[in-house]
């Protein structure tokens, strides 16, 4: 598959310039209504895709579906990670030594959310492991043979 590696926030600009055909993101958790929880920034990519008319698909392995939650924006707890991930940087000094330095002022509070939730209305569809595509209107579990609410709850999905 032809592709180009870009810095994280360049995708928004490329979508705006009609240089992106579609977006495919992964998922850590998907709710019964199709809200998608993924690494922080996925929601902004979905907004940019929607605004630019670019389809936004989710690569959706069946174990990530949580049929017990219907509103991911309000019900999925979002992990906050260590402030040091944002407040410090490790690199090589001019003398060639490895050092960790603080890059924000002392005493500055840091919020480091690990995930965000993309509402289902921004998701064009999902792609399962067998490369089957389910459109948003069909529902999150519709494309998975043998996977239903009962098997998820019983842990057999």
Q: Which residue carries 């402030």 as its tokens?
A: 83
Is residue 22 within 8 Å of residue 126, measured between CB atoms?
A: no
DSSP code of residue 4 = -
Active-site residue, 128 included = no
Strand, coil or helix: 136: helix
Catalytic residue among 28, 66, 116, 128: 28
Contact status, residue 33 vs residue 140, Cβ threshold 8 Å: yes
Helix, coil or strand: residue 25 = strand
Alpha helices, DSSP H only, in the chain?
10-16, 42-52, 72-75, 84-87, 149-153
Q: Quick one: tokens of 153?
A: 């709850």
The CB density around residue 131, as the number of other CB atoms within 10 Å, is 7
Catalytic residues: 28
């Amino acid at each position: 598959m032809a592709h180009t590696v870009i810095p994280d926030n360049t995708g928004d600009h490329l979508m705006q310039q009609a240089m992106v055909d579609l977006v495919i993101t992964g998922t850590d958790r998907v709710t019964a209504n199709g809200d998608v929880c993924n690494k922080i920034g996925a929601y902004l990519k979905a907004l940019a895709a929607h605004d630019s008319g670019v389809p936004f698909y989710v690569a959706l392995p069946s174990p990530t579906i949580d049929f017990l939650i219907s509103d991911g924006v309000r019900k999925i707890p979002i992990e906050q990670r260590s402030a040091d991930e944002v407040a410090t940087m490790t690199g090589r000094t001019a003398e060639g030594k490895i050092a960790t330095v603080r890059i924000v002022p002392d005493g500055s509070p840091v919020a480091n959310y690990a995930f965000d939730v993309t509402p289902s209305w921004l998701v064009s569809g999902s792609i399962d492991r067998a490369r089957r595509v389910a459109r948003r209107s069909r529902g999150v579990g519709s494309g998975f043979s043998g996977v239903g609410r009962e098997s998820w709850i019983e842990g057999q999905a």
